[in-house]
Structure 1
Amino acid sequence: MSKTDEATDGNVALDEPISQVGIAGSRVDHVYNRVKEDIFDFRLLPGDRFTESQVADRLKVSRTPVREALYRLEREGYVFVHFRNGWSVRPFDFVMFENLYELRSVLETAAVRKICDLADISRLDELQSIWLGPEAERETEAMRAAELDEAFHTTIVDAAENPEIARVHNDVIERIRIIRRLDFTQGYRVERTYEEHAKILQALLRRRADTACSLLKAHIEESRAEVRKITIHRLQAARQS
């Protein structure tokens, strides 16, 4: 398909160009992350059509890294390639994300039970200054709070000292990272996260596995429900704009 033919399809809402990157792999990652962010920020809506040339032109890269990034997104279920007719965003798959949240809960509660059986749980010490510290020192910026939240959960899994659980958990976290950040667009959710993390951590430090697991499951479920609600709201708003 020629560049001229491709330019007739759809619209892409990608905004700023990618700076020149030294290696092709980095360019693929940049394109992948930008398109994925556009999907989850609802600049690209389910069903929107676009072409490789349009993405390449906007991001100031060749079509090769664009194609590789899009096939990566296709394997993950975010986009669909049309034979000789560009690409489109797949319908939003709430079932997939809810399955990933369920898997995350299974992995993290398994990690909690392993931690409570370990002789040394000093790897949890680094979490105390953040989540059990003074209220005045709490992070309020949404993106930074999201990063701290992810670090809390990955630290717990890593502390279980099972690299296979950690490997699968990292894959799940990667796949839900962009949608998870929506949880911190509401101010009260940041405050709630501090409160819930503190209770989970206190139960872990006291080796109360059942309590920690119960708290953790409730925490993940509340996050999942909040993200779903925000996603539906933003999707509806984007369609009406």
Structure 2
Amino acid sequence: MSDVIPLPRDEDGSIRGRVVAMLRAGTLGPGDRLMEADLAARFRTSRTPVREALRQLEAEGLVSHVPRVGATVRRLDYSEVVELYEMRAVMEGTAARLAARMASAVELAALAEVNLALAEATEPARAAALNRVFHARLLDAARNRFLSQAALGLERTMSILGPSTLGDAARAAAAVEEHSAVLDALSARDGAQAEALMRRHIEGAQAQRMRQMTAGAGA
């Protein structure tokens, strides 16, 4: 059954969405130049939609415009990454607390199914996609449209960070266990416990990301 879970498309089929997909895959990284001509050739389109997509990405904070260089992928410093994860912990912790009260039995079963598929995933890209499905469905179950909108914006910004921390097998296994603990709290309708466990889960992802950043800086 887990094989038929629809995986999230990276935004949509637009030029902007495809650039975001490249960020998540690590094909593009912080500081990389985004040449209109190169992207137009890659996506087999004219430079006009590429230019518009880059403007959208700049407005969203994913792209920076450097004088005499042009558009580049925004580079976040250590403190900015910490702030991103702190905000994510607040948002998703709140979502878990709300979902403990609002989620239906069907939604909880669907979350469990996604987590099972994540446990069985062998490809990092599929694991990352399933993880996004899990978190998106949890936000849906919270029944707060403004929280969902804010979390979506944050998740887009986090695409700058590149591939998911679930590329690390130990972190992926830990994430599955942490999801299971959150699900237990949701099923028990224990909002305080669900919130605390979700915050702890995000903190685990943050710790792994910081280890990766530190290792990369020392390479």
C-alpha separation in 1, matches of 2:46 and 2:99: 48
CA distance 1:77–1:129, change in 2 (3 Å): closer
Partner of 1:145: 127
C-alpha separation in 2, matches of 1:111 and 1:203: 13
Q: Kindly indicate whether residue 203 of structure 2 is the aligned counterpart of residue 221 of structure 1.
A: yes
Partner of 1:63: 47
Give the Å deviation of 1:49. Answer: 4.8
Partner of 2:70: 86
Give the Å deviation of 1:195. Answer: 1.0
**3-state DSSP of counterpart to 1:140:** coil
CA distance 1:49–1:145, change in 2 (3 Å): closer
Partner of 1:7: none
Give the Å deviation of 1:197. Answer: 0.8
Which is higher, the Rg of structure 1 or of structure 2? 1
Q: Kindly indicate whether residue 184 of structure 2 is the aligned counterpart of residue 197 of structure 1.
A: no
Structure 2 unaligned runs (5+)? Answer: 1-11
C-alpha separation in 2, matches of 1:168 and 1:141: 29
CA distance 1:95–1:75, change in 2 (3 Å): farther
Structure 1 unaligned runs (5+)? Answer: 1-24
CA distance 1:114–1:182, change in 2 (3 Å): closer
Give the Å deviation of 1:196. Answer: 0.9
Paired residues for 1:75-154 under 5 Å: 75-82=59-66, 86-118=70-102, 120-131=104-115, 138-154=120-136
CA distance 1:94–1:62, change in 2 (3 Å): farther
C-alpha separation in 2, matches of 1:119 and 1:27: 32
Scaled by the length of structure 1, what TM-score is found?
A: 0.70
Q: Is the 8 A contact 1:182 1:230 kept in 2?
A: no
What per-residue deviation string (whole Å, max 9, x for no partner) do you get for residues 172-207 of structure 1?
223224636431111111111111111111111012
Q: Is the 8 A contact 1:109 1:216 kept in 2?
A: yes
CA distance 1:91–1:148, change in 2 (3 Å): closer
C-alpha separation in 1, matches of 2:194 and 2:200: 10
**3-state DSSP of counterpart to 2:50:** helix
Give the Å deviation of 1:221. Answer: 0.7
Q: Kindly indicate whether residue 23 of structure 2 is the aligned counterpart of residue 41 of structure 1.
A: no
CA distance 1:211–1:69, change in 2 (3 Å): same
Q: Is the 8 A contact 1:116 1:208 kept in 2?
A: yes
Partner of 2:188: 206
Give the Å deviation of 1:64. Answer: 1.1
Q: Is the 8 A contact 2:65 2:71 kept in 1?
A: yes
Which of 155, 158, 168 is the aligned partner of 1:173? Answer: 155
C-alpha root-mean-square deviation of aligned residues, in Å? 3.2
What per-residue deviation string (whole Å, max 9, x for no partner) do you get for residues 184-237 of structure 1?
111111111111111111111012222222211111011012123224434655
